Amino acid sequence: MLTRHTPTTIRRPFSNYAHAVEVPAGMRLLVLSGQLGIGADEAVPIGAEAQAELCFRNISAILAEAGADASNLVRLNAYVAGREHLAGYMAARNRFVGDKPAPASTLMIVSGFATEAFVVEVEAIAALP
């Protein structure tokens, strides 16, 4: 069982995430590569929200293949290619996390990705029994 830490002595998170997630001994770590907003058909939708939806769909598929789900997430690292993409990313992220146990999370603004069409990338770490 993962333990989430969000001390009341520091500022509460800006969104639904934990300040820290503790992984007990004996759990396996699943480290996911950064997922881009691209479908199996190679299509890249326009806009951060649509791309983030695909990122989270890909993450869900990888977790499922490993016998896990979003409740196993320890950490999300997200990258967006400009402030104008924050709202779209956050809308998709908030739907994905919902009321599930919140992972630790970081969101960074970067200058771009290897392919110009991409505006969002999401990495994840999960812990499995």
Mean pLDDT of 29-52: 97
**By the 8 A CB rule, do 92 and 49 touch?**
yes
Query: Could you read off the pLDDT of 63-100 as tens digits, one per residue?
Result: 999 999 999 999 999 999 999 999 999 999 999 999 88
Domain count, the chain: 1
**By the 8 A CB rule, do 22 and 6 touch?**
no
pLDDT of residue 25: 96
Task: Name the residue range of residue 87's domain.
Answer: 3-128
At 22, the pLDDT band (50, 70, 90 cuts) reads: very high
Q: Nearest 5°: phi and psi at 11?
A: -60, 135
Pairing of strands 73-80, 104-109: parallel
pTM exceeding the 0.85 threshold for the entire prediction: yes
What CATH number corresponds to the domain at position 34? 3.30.1330.40
Mean pLDDT of 20-41: 96
Lowest-confidence region among 11-25, 30-44, 76-90, 103-117: 11-25
pLDDT of residue 57: 97
Residue 101 has pLDDT above 90, yes or no: no
pLDDT of residue 69: 95
